[in-house]
Amino acid sequence: MRYRFADRLSHAPKSFLDEIFRVSADPSIITFAGGLPSSSLIDTEGIRMATCQVMEDDPSAALQYTTTDGYLPLREFIAARYRSRLGIPASADEIQIVNGSQQCLDLFAKIFLNPGDYVGMERPGYLGALEAFSLYEPVIETVALEDDGPDLAAFEKLIRSTKVKFFYGIPNSQNPSGTTWSQEKRRAIADILVDSDSVLYEDDAFGELFFDNRPRLPAKRYIPDQAVLSGSFSKIIAPGMRIGWIFAPARILKQFNIVKQAADLHSNFFCQKILHRYLIMHDLDEHIKNIVGVYERKCRLMCDLLDDLVPQVTHTTPEGGMFLMATLPEDLSSRAVFEEGIKRRVAVLPGLPFYIDGGGTDTIRMNFSTASEEQIKEGMVRLAHVITDLQKT
C-alpha cells in the first residue's frame, strides 16, 4: 500500500521532544534535557480537593460537551489576572482556552499562514514552535537573540521588508536560552511594529516564574490590537491537564475560535472546571512564590556548578523560567556532549533543534526545574566529566 501523504510532512523537522520525554523516563539518567516543571511542586492535595468539589457540585455538566471558547469563569479569572498583575485591559471575550500553549502555536499558524508566507522568530527559537509552524510550510526568518532580546536592527529590517505575517517570540525567560527581553526593547519592538501589518505573538509560558516575582510588561500593552499573548497553567499548576489560553484581539480570536472548533470542538471541560475551582480556593501568588523560590535556588546551583566545574563553558544567567543555555568550548560539539552524556547517565539537549540554519552545534539547553538539588549536584559532576574527557580526546 502506497500512502499519498501531504507535502507538508516533508517540512516537519525531525522531532526531538518525544525523544526527550523518553530519555527523561529512564530513572538512571539525570536529565537536564527535558522541560518538565518539578513534579514535587504540583499541589496534588489542592487539586484533589478541587476535583472533589467539582465532582460534588454538578459532575455531569463538567463531564458533558461545552462551547469551544472555554469555561467562562476560568476565562474571567485569566482576564482579571492580566488586569491586576500587568495592568492590561483584558476581558473574558478576548480569551480562548486551548490545550496548553502548544495548541496556540498550531492554531495561530493555521489562521495566518499560507505555504510560502514569512514568519519571524528568535534565533535560537523554541523547538515546539518550529515544529508547529513548519507544517504550514512557511519561510522562517530568524533574528538573533541578544542578552536583552532580539537584535533591533535586524528586527526592524525584517519588519520593514513587510514580509512576515507575524513575529513569534518568548520574551520572558525564553526556551531555550533563558534570556528575557528588556523593557526598552519591548517598547522599541512595539514602535517598529506599529506601522506594519505584522502581528506580534508573545508566548508567555514563563512570565509568572521570575525569581524576583516582578512581572514584566508585554509589548502587547503598547500595541493591543497588533499582539497576542499565550499563557499556560502547565508551568504553574499542572501540565498533564493541558490547559492554556490565547489572549487576542476580537477579530483574531473569531478566526482562532473557528479553527479551534474544527480541531477538537473544545478543550477538556472537566479539567477547566477543576483548574478554576483550584484557582479560587487557593492563593496562586503564594503557590507561585513557592515554585519560584525552588527554581531560583536550582538555577543558582546549576550556574555556580557550571562556573566551578567547567569554567571553560559559558552560560546565560536566567532571571526566571526553567532553562539556561550553555556554550561549549569551540572544539566541542553539542551532539557529542549529548551522546557521551547519555552513556554517563546525564542528559542535556543539544542546541541543534532550536536553529533552522545548522546552528546550535556548540550550545546546549539545560533545564533546572525537573531535577532535585541532589540530582543537579551529581548530574553536573557527571557532565563536567563528559566535557573534560571529550576535550582530552
Identify which of residues 185 and 266 has a Cβ nearer to a second copy in the complex. Answer: 266
Within 27-46, the residues that bind a second copy by CB under 8 A are: 35-37, 39-40, 42, 44
With contacts defined by CB under 8 A, name the span among 210-218, 259-267, 333-341, 361-369 that binds a second copy: 259-267
SS3 assignment, position 13: coil
With contacts defined by CB under 8 A, name the span among 246-254, 289-297, 356-364, 379-387 that binds a second copy: 246-254
Q: Please tell me whether residue 22 binds a second copy under the rule CB under 8 A.
A: yes
With contacts defined by CB under 8 A, name the span among 167-175, 237-245, 359-367, 372-380 that binds a second copy: 237-245
CB of 61 to a second copy, least distance (A): 7
Identify which of residues 67 and 391 has a Cβ nearer to a second copy in the complex. Answer: 67
Q: Please tell me whether residue 21 binds a second copy under the rule CB under 8 A.
A: yes
* CB 245, CB 203: distance < 8 Å: no
Considering only 3, 116, 214, 374, the residue that binds a second copy (CB under 8 A) is 3
Task: Quote the cell numbers at residue 195.
Answer: 506601522
* CB 170, CB 137: distance < 8 Å: no
Considering only 126, 181, 206, 269, the residue that binds a second copy (CB under 8 A) is 269
Considering only 51, 91, 361, 372, the residue that binds a second copy (CB under 8 A) is 51
Q: Please tell me whether residue 78 binds a second copy under the rule CB under 8 A.
A: no
Q: Please tell me whether residue 284 binds a second copy under the rule CB under 8 A.
A: no
Q: What are the beta bridge partners of residue 349?
A: 365
Rounded Cα–Cα distance for residues 220 and 218 (Å)? 5
With contacts defined by CB under 8 A, name the span among 76-84, 97-105, 279-287, 373-381 that binds a second copy: 97-105
CB of 373 to a second copy, least distance (A): 18
Distance of CA 249 to the CA centre of its chain: 21
Within 152-171, the residues that bind a second copy by CB under 8 A are: 165
Within 320-349, the residues that bind a second copy by CB under 8 A are: none
Identify which of residues 121 and 132 has a Cβ nearer to a second copy in the complex. Answer: 132
**For the chain, where are the E strands, in sequence order?**
30-31, 95-98, 118-123, 139-146, 149-150, 164-169, 199-203, 227-232, 244-247, 314-315, 323-327, 346-347, 349-350, 363-367
**DSSP secondary structure of 244-299:** EEEE--HHHHHHHHHHHHHHHSS--HHHHHHHHHHHHHS-HHHHHHHHHHHHHHHH
Within 188-207, the residues that bind a second copy by CB under 8 A are: 197, 199
Q: Tell me how crowded residue 106 is: count the other CB atoms within 10 A of its CB.
A: 20
Identify which of residues 73 and 314 has a Cβ nearer to a second copy in the complex. Answer: 73
Taking every pair of C-alpha atoms in the chain, what is the biggest distance, in angstroms? 65
User: What angle (nearest 5°) sits at the alpha carbon of residue 51, between those of residues 45 and 55?
Assistant: 145
SS3 assignment, position 315: strand
Rounded Cα–Cα distance for residues 140 and 356 (Å)? 8
**One-letter amino acid for residue 191 of the chain:** D
Q: Please tell me whether residue 66 binds a second copy under the rule CB under 8 A.
A: yes
Q: Please tell me whether residue 281 binds a second copy under the rule CB under 8 A.
A: no
* CB 257, CB 96: distance < 8 Å: yes
Q: Please tell me whether residue 5 binds a second copy under the rule CB under 8 A.
A: yes
CB of 23 to a second copy, least distance (A): 11
* CB 216, CB 180: distance < 8 Å: yes
Considering only 53, 76, 135, 382, the residue that binds a second copy (CB under 8 A) is 135
Per-residue interface string for the shown chain with a second copy, residues 107-126, x marking contact by CB under 8 A: ---xxxxxx-x---------
